[in-house]
Structure 1
Amino acid sequence: MTTLVLVEHAAPRSVPLDDVAGRALARSGLVEASPDLETSGRWRVRAKGVVGVATVPVPDGPAITVRVQPKLPVARLLFLLGYSRSPKGWRDDQVDVAEEQELLPAFARLFTRQAEHTLRQGLLKGYVAIEETALVMRGRLRFAEQVRRHHGRLVPAEIDHDEYTTDIAENRLLRSACETLLRLPVPTDVRGRLLRLRADLIDVSPISRGAVLPTWRPSRLNARYHHVLRLADLVLRNASVEHRDGDVTVHGFTFDMARVFEDFLTVALREVLADHTGHCVLQARHHLDEDRLIRMIPDFVHYADDGTPLAVVDAKYKAEKPQGFPDADLYQMLAYCTALNLPEGHLVYAQGNAPHTRHRIRNAGVVIHQHALDLDQAPGDLLASVAHLARRLIGK
């Protein structure tokens, strides 16, 4: 198996690959890949905005494992992921992975440690609704099913009843996250700990691949499960088999950094503005034209109590080039401001040389602000930067 280790958005690397392997890598959508025009038998490969580890199959050849390291320290990335899922429940002291350079080993250690702590008091139990065909009456008779299946006979009986069991949604999610991580190239010591966790959960049924994840509701009874369940959700939603362009099937554990940044920024802004009047909507749906044919979905809109838009924000995870940020972002924000009847709009970038620039649009009376948010800060400092941005949105 060929292994490529890349860094997110770094310069292209020339690597030895035959044409079949290079084309499979290019079709996977994980990275940018093209033949090296200067040297035969080599391809130039560049990581985009997807980080993590994934395996790309190659027809009639060894698979290619692609490991993309994030530009951010792993601990910072894990904070962004955790905060966007649970802004009030996340604590930075849960992330102690400074020694890890790659995302998957760090995430596997974090999940394993939290799961071990959670299950130290034993498995949570709860009531589960069971529907079955039985020879003995138990619980409630399902009359419609009894008539449909057995034409009025009393035995066997179609019944439903509540069973007090460990086979509940919370434990099933943990079991399935264990199974998922065990299928990935995690460190040997973590694999051993995951196997022990799976043994503790052996009586719990895993979730079938591709099935809808069961829902759980935070409560006093499952409070000790809250943190690990959010980690399990990240595992199950980001470690999957994906069918990409060109029918190349990719299996791995990856995160789209643009989505990570967008989720963090919009949730953090919503938390800051929760104490102010009005309300916030993430991924608000609007239309640019009067016929409502041209759909727009700005990342974040702050509304007054009567529904009047007060501020609009769009998150942009991209590197600033020497000539500045792309003009297309400004055109997009101008359209948002026009449709929402706002005098100002805000573009927030994940990095940049200047902390803030502004553009007054000719003949439109619209000012577009471009902010750069440094993600490589301590969590408290990063949240303070977001709070400062939120105050600018509401003019305070």
Structure 2
Amino acid sequence: MASPILGRTLTIHEFDILVGEGAAGTGGNAAAVVPNYVFEWLQEQCLAQTEGEGARWARLAQRGGRLVVQVTNYVGVIRAPGGLQIEVLPKVGRAGGADENWARRLLIRMLSCLGPFRHIRTARAELAATKMSLLEVFVGEFLDAVSAVVKRGLRGSYVTRQGNLPFLRGKLMMSAHLRHNLVRADAFFTEHDDFSTDRPENRLIHAALNEVIAQSVSLENQRWARELRFIFSDVPPTGDVTGDIRKLQPARNMIHYGEALAWAELILTGFSPLTGAGGRSAASLLFPMEMLFEAYVAKHLERAIDPALRLKVHPATHYLVEHQAEQWFRLEPDLVVRRNGRNIVVLDTKWKLLDVTETMRKERYNLSQGDFYQLHAYGHTYLEGEGDVVLVYPKTEAFRHPLEPFFFPNAQNLRLWVMPFCLDTGALICPANQPNRVSFPMILQLVDRQLSRPDGTPSLL
């Protein structure tokens, strides 16, 4: 059952059901109850999808003859009207019996693998996640980065200004002076350099602080943001976010601004490409789990493989067919491992919970036939029909060890592996090589050795 609304934050998991106050009990124990005005707003988001404007993080469904809203595979925080934050956590936490803090910490680690969130200090953020919602955790990271900028002093620059002054400063602009002050002896029209902190970097941070004060529900973050905003009081907040972002130029004396500006850009652009639609929109921090899982696996495998190997993400160098000298239907696997310019292993990540118990054998362990077709095409195009393709799924209690390899009838030298990836350790669980388990780098080295099975067909084991 979803968590009750505490501190204006409701915590649920992927694919949970949301209902209005008047329909409590409609979705069973898995349903979370939200105020009616929030439920109406959620319906607006779902209906907007039919017009091509709504986000894909929720959909309308029916339970018990009533209309309900079901969240999809997007995780993060939804900012609903009235200040309610709906926090959506990965479903793997619920499936594994883990608590919400574990799922929230996992989500932070996954987000840190994405480029825009590379500045997350995961250890501190995971600790903060045990006390506050995910959105407030990231607000705290931004405020800490701004504090670091303030400690080193706001950077300014000299700006050339012209105008009438009651004293002579800089260079006297004689022609303009005679034109403006012909009958005035108490003014001088001058051109001078003025040192000012009114520059794009400070304007963006000031605007982001205003946004944080408007969106945050944490009293601690509110107080912290107001204190920092006071320091930027001499700097006007940006009125053109896109224009000021374009004006940013790398400079040696601005290096310490890097993290604060990265967070400011995320805050001012809505944290993510997904924002609320409809008359009562609200900023969201939402990401598809497939993207997060892929980035998480890629980052850890890149560290694990042999230095002589190269891991390519979304290489997209092959097409399925050619037609009249044109290439159609680009084939873009998630990960490809290369050695000496040659593809040796293709991996595709799938955010799906498998169940490899014997009772699920008739259901083929929840494996998708379409995924096998996809890997078959990758194997023939990227590996020329010979080698190893891998489907990577999250490790759970129901999927702890890799399956025996699958062989394609007309391509016996092309093997398909189904392997679990441990979310806690960031390790791919590879097949056991009796009596010891081999590592992923060793498996890659065995690809070219073509070890033999008892029946003479090639195998990695």
Same topology, TM > 0.5 = yes
For 1:238-258, what per-residue CA distance to the aligned partner results, in whole angstroms no more than 9, with x for missing partners? 526857899995532223322
User: Partner letter of residue 254 of structure 1?
Assistant: L
Percent identical: 19
- Partner residue, 1:355: 401
Matches within 5 A, 1:50-61: 50-55=74-79
Name the SS of the counterpart of 1:183 in structure 2.
helix
Distance in structure 2 (CA, Å) of the matches to 1:101 and 1:341: 47
Alignment match of 1:368 (pick from 416, 434, 453):
416
**Structure 1 counterpart SS, 2:307:** coil
Instruction: Give the Cα–Cα distance (whole angstroms) in 1 for the partners of residues 307 and 118 of structure 2.
Output: 14
Residue 190 of structure 1 and its aligned partner are, at CA, apart by: 0.5
Secondary structure of 1:356's match?
Answer: coil
Kept in 1: contact 2:300–2:426 (CA 8 A): no
Decide whether the 8 Å contact of 2:345 with 2:444 is kept in 1. yes
Once the 2 structures are TM-superposed, how far is the Cα of residue 340 of structure 1 from its aligned partner? Answer: 0.8
266, 269, 276: which one aligns with 2:301? 269
Contact kept, 8 Å, 1:35 with 1:44, in 2: the verdict is yes
1:249-328 alignment, distance < 5 Å = 251-273=283-305, 275-277=307-309, 279-285=310-316, 286-290=318-322, 291-306=326-341, 308-320=342-354, 323-328=365-370
Equivalent position of 1:382 in the other structure? 426
- How far has the Cα of 1:78 moved from its partner? 2.0
1:182 alignment partner AA: I
* 1:87-128 per-position Cα deviation (integer Å, ceiling 9, x unaligned): 997754443314235211222122222322342121245689
Tell me which moved more, 342-351 or 170-179: 170-179
Matched with 1:197 is 228
For 2:427 and 2:247, the matched residues in 1 are separated by 29
Of residues 72, 79, 92, the one that matches 2:109 is: 79
1:23 to 43, 56, 62: 43
What is the DSSP-based 3-state SS (H/G/I as helix, E as strand, rest coil) of the residue aligned with 1:347? strand
Shift of 1:21: 5.2
Maintained 8 Å contact 1:242/1:250 = no
Pick from 372, 383, 399: which aligns with 1:330?
372
Q: Output the CA distance in 1 between the equivalents of 2:272 and 2:122.
A: 27
SS across alignment from 2:215: coil
- Structure 1: 5+ residue runs without aligned partners? 139-161
- 1:5 is displaced (CA, Å) by 2.8
Instruction: Give, as a single letter, the amino acid of the residue that structure 1 aligns with 2:415.
Output: V
Which of these two proteins has the greater Rg computed from alpha carbons?
Answer: 2
**1:49 lines up with 2:73 in the alignment:** yes
- Structure 1 range deviating more: 93-102 or 362-371: 93-102
1:208 partner amino acid? D
Instruction: Note if contact 2:389-2:415 (Cα within 8 Å) is conserved in structure 1.
Output: yes
How do 1:191-230 and structure 2 match up within 5 A?
191-202=222-233, 203=235, 205-206=237-238, 208=240, 213-214=245-246, 221-230=253-262
SS in 1 for 2:353: coil
Q: Secondary structure at the match of 1:120?
A: helix
Distance 1:316 1:231 in 2: 29
Match of 1:35 in 2: 62
Unmatched segments (≥5 aa) in structure 2: 23-35, 48-53, 94-101, 165-169, 171-192, 431-437, 448-461
Contact 1:345 1:367 in 2 (8 A): yes
Which of 389, 392, 395 pairs up with 2:443? 392
More moved, 366-375 vs 201-210? 201-210
Q: Distance in 2 between matches of 1:216 and 1:392?
A: 45
Does 2:383 match 1:341?
yes
Quote the Cα distance in structure 1 between the aligned partners of 2:117 and 2:77: 26
> Hey, what's the Cα distance between the residues in 2 that align with 1:354 and 1:191?
44
Q: Aligned match of 1:68 in 88, 97, 100?
A: 88
1 CA distance for matches of 2:351 and 2:257? 32
Cα deviation, 1:298-343, whole Å, max 9, x if unaligned, reads: 222233343x322222222233355333232222121111111252
Alpha carbons of structure 1 residues 341 and 69: separation in structure 2 relative to 1, 3 Å = closer
- Alpha-carbon displacement from aligned partner over 1:16-36 (angstroms, at most 9, x marks no partner): 467965632433432233233
Letter in 2 for 1:332: Q
> Residue 63 of structure 2 aligns to which amino acid in structure 1?
D
What is the deviation of 1:369?
1.6
Q: What is the TM-score normalised by the length of structure 2?
A: 0.63
Secondary structure in 1 aligned to 2:141? helix
